[in-house]
Amino acid sequence: MQNLYEAMLEARVRLQQPLLAGGRLPLTDVRSALSREEPTLTEEFQEARAEIAALLADALRLRHSLYALNPSVVGVADAATPAGKQQLQATLAASLPAGLPALVPATPPPSKRRRVAAGEEEEEEEEGDDADVPVPVSLRDAAGVESGAYWRAIEAGWDAFAPYRDETVDTWGRTLTYAGGLTQKQAVKLRVMNADISKQVSNIMADRERLLARTRPKAEAVAVLGQARSEQAGDHVFDDSDFYQVLLREFVSISASSAATQAAGGIRSYASKKREGVDHRASKGRKLKYVTHPKLVNFVAPRPYVVPPDMSYDLDTVVASLFKSA
């Protein structure tokens, strides 16, 4: 789960530049004028719109599949009952625009059976694996969906997921509060600081006009193509620079901690490899140093006898004659 969160955080950080570039795209009236002057721009605008619609469709289809796999996140307690099944189907239908196929079929297709002949074994062709193959969506189908249908599906899925989100966040928030040593009585006294996270967010969102003003950049900060600086307005651009800075700091801290962990692991492995084959007890006279000699004979250490090269007799013959009987 941590790796998934880090991957999603990295993807969001990398998407910041494309999102900023999208805010510079010409508006409707300017785009129409540019298309009349350059006919090829019309096709390029349509291709870009189709690509964006396909990306949005894939994201909604992925959310649709996750809701189907875990119905409790959309408020369906028991999807096996007729009422729960009907509620789940209604929620899933509202969270996906009409005309877009589901990412994965809800039910696998039945297996096909074919009998060869009477009295012989029955051959089966199982096709259950095809149920896990994602159904692709074409750019034409994605671009053919009305833009308002995408927004309605996004809001419907968001509203269905909101109760589960608030309950989960509040539960973990209270768990961390009590784990930090704060008792329930102390938490009641500090109601503002230790209120549920969902309530704190609702209180902050109450001043909607002020928050909307913070999300609208200044006119001179947005360089829209085809318009002068004095004619520009940033009402069509959503500026989330504050939230992006928080995510960026989180991403940098995670990257720095992972790099430090890898460096520490490399140092430990290098130190362990460097210490291999070293006897630490041999220092400071804590270990006796000796050399093993051959066994002593008559308390005299044996010495190898070297035959002089100038001897004129055969040594083997001389030794053999010593033990020969007379």
Residue % of the chain over a pLDDT of 70: 70
Those residues whose C-beta lies under 8 Å from the C-beta of residue 279, and which sit 6 or more positions away, are: 287
- The pLDDT score that the predictor gives to residue 141 is 78
Mean pLDDT of the chain: 76
The pLDDT tens digits for 165-191 are: 999 999 988 888 777 666 656 655 556
In this structure, of 41-55, 104-118, 190-204, the range with the lowest mean pLDDT score is: 104-118
Would you say residue 130 has pLDDT above 60? no
119-123, 191-195, 208-212, 282-286: range with lowest mean pLDDT: 119-123
**What is the pLDDT at residue 111?**
47
**Residue that wins the pLDDT comparison between 63 and 289:** 63
Q: How far is the C-alpha of 323 from the C-alpha of 303, rounded, in Å?
A: 23
CA 187 centroid distance within chain: 35
Averaged pLDDT for residues 277-283: 70
| In the chain, where the domains are located | 1-23+219-257, 28-106+133-180
Q: How far apart are CA 244 and CA 237, in angstroms?
A: 15
CA distances in angstroms from 7 to 60, 184, 251, 306, 311, listed in the order given: 19, 37, 10, 78, 87
Entry pTM? 0.62
Q: How far apart are the first and last CA of the chain?
A: 98
Q: What does DSSP assign to residue 233? A: -
For 99-120, the pLDDT digits (tens) are 788 776 554 444 444 544 444 4
What pLDDT digit, counting tens, does each position of 53-104 carry?
Answer: 888 898 999 899 888 888 888 888 888 888 888 888 888 888 888 878 877 6
**Residue 156 pLDDT more than 80?**
yes
